[in-house]
A and B are shown apart, each in its own frame.
Chain A
């Protein structure tokens, strides 16, 4: 799957570009997040702005990323559209994840 990852000493910013995070590409996304975390990056910002849709497998992959980070890590999500926010609300993930309207909001929260 096509992810653009910008890594700085303070955080890694992950941009999606495929439009969907679903059963077809969720396993690959998990793998890439696992690698990123194994390399010692424990503050991740996922920029969901270009995702139109996340299905249950996609949601599972994001929660799995949160679990991989454990206590010392941090996961911030930003740019979720209306459909994705509805999924987060229905599954109460809006209370599990730290959600921000855009990348700037997430970066400010990190400071």
Chain B
């Protein structure tokens, strides 16, 4: 281990050098505090300094203060101050300056050896801690890289806002922690239908996201036609789709159940059919600004076997919209702990009903970010809107 000596008296310096070398330390010497500081700044391996108190250019106290004022991530340097007098004031000033230990002159080799060993224990502890922090940091960085990659994959699954024939759709998606348990989709189903769903896996983070990925693929019409279409290429009734999902995705310990809305819109007529499973109600935004709510209660998916769901059906006129959201929207709280609430959501949707779809969603997003006073949501927060054109 390297020890740096700062001492202006050649006799004391020589004595220290010989004692330290006999104890097996590598010794570097400086004639004053300033020189010691320069050496220290150039050599990060130095973890030990024995410094005299009174020296030209820079004294031991200032050297110690400079060492302690270095940035937090600098390696810890153990400082012993050499002093001919050890009164209480000096000890207090020294310790306030960040000195670890004191050594009184004249120097006794046995005492010096004991003090160095005490210091070495501290440095070794520091070194172990630095190593552990470095390993944690590396692990954390790796996890972040993986999560960011997973988040990108998840975002790429989502349908880009736009049109599917007569249906325009747009959305906002805010995962709380890189990846979300929320997922949704909007797709051409059979010949004349646009299918849509939004689902929210309980919890958030990686395990919820994995199930949401799996559900996404299960519900993708191009991958598994069987789960959404019958043999004649006609959509299966939404209630039946939900009942089948419930059967396939049971979570016996109720950790990964999910809530969902699934439905479809018949493009030639505007007829909508949908079913809900424990998900916040679907809102229909009528042209005159009225907001209707569909789905007042039903069991989430994955909790109980053999659950039956109910279809709801209604007509949508040109320019009318469907709006779906995850509970993270109405439950997101401001810095007073107050939730955004369904009432606030409905008020915005009613008051801004005349605006084009993308502007309406932008206003809602702005309101939510302002409500939070930050661009971060503690739970996954998603909303999705479809307009029949």
Report whether A63 and B303 are in contact in the complex, using a CB–CB cutoff of 8 Å. Answer: yes
Interface of A is mostly: helix
Name the interface size band of chain A: 10 to 19
Stretch at the interface among A7-15, A70-78, A88-96, A98-106: A88-96
Asked if B331 lies at the interface with its beta carbon under 8 angstroms from chain A, I say yes
Minimal beta-carbon separation of B200 from chain A (angstroms): 7
Query: How many A-B pairs fall under 8 Å by CB?
Result: 56
Asked if A59 lies at the interface with its beta carbon under 8 angstroms from chain B, I say yes
Stretch at the interface among B15-23, B78-86, B249-257: B249-257
Q: In the complex the two chains form, what is the Cα distance from A80 to B205 in whole Å?
A: 28
Q: In the complex the two chains form, what is the Cα distance from A75 to B205 in whole Å?
A: 30
Q: In the complex the two chains form, what is the Cα distance from A89 to B253 in whole Å?
A: 21
Report whether A60 and B257 are in contact in the complex, using a CB–CB cutoff of 8 Å. Answer: yes
Asked if A81 lies at the interface with its beta carbon under 8 angstroms from chain B, I say no
Report whether A91 and B203 are in contact in the complex, using a CB–CB cutoff of 8 Å. Answer: no
Minimal beta-carbon separation of B207 from chain A (angstroms): 11
Stretch at the interface among B157-165, B228-236, B292-300, B369-377: B292-300
List 18 A–B pairs whose Cβ atoms lie within 8 Å, in order of A's numbering.
A55-B331, A55-B379, A56-B203, A56-B327, A59-B202, A60-B202, A63-B254, A64-B255, A67-B252, A67-B254, A83-B339, A89-B296, A90-B278, A90-B279, A90-B296, A91-B278, A91-B299, A91-B300
B interface residues, Cβ below 8 angstroms from A:
200, 202-204, 252-255, 257, 259, 278-281, 296-300, 303-304, 327, 331, 339, 379
Given contacts A63-B303, A96-B299, 14 further A-B contacts (CB under 8 A): A55-B331, A56-B327, A57-B203, A59-B202, A60-B202, A60-B203, A60-B257, A61-B254, A89-B296, A92-B297, A92-B298, A92-B299, A93-B299, A94-B297
A interface residues, Cβ below 8 angstroms from B:
23, 53, 55-57, 59-61, 63-64, 67, 83, 89-94, 96
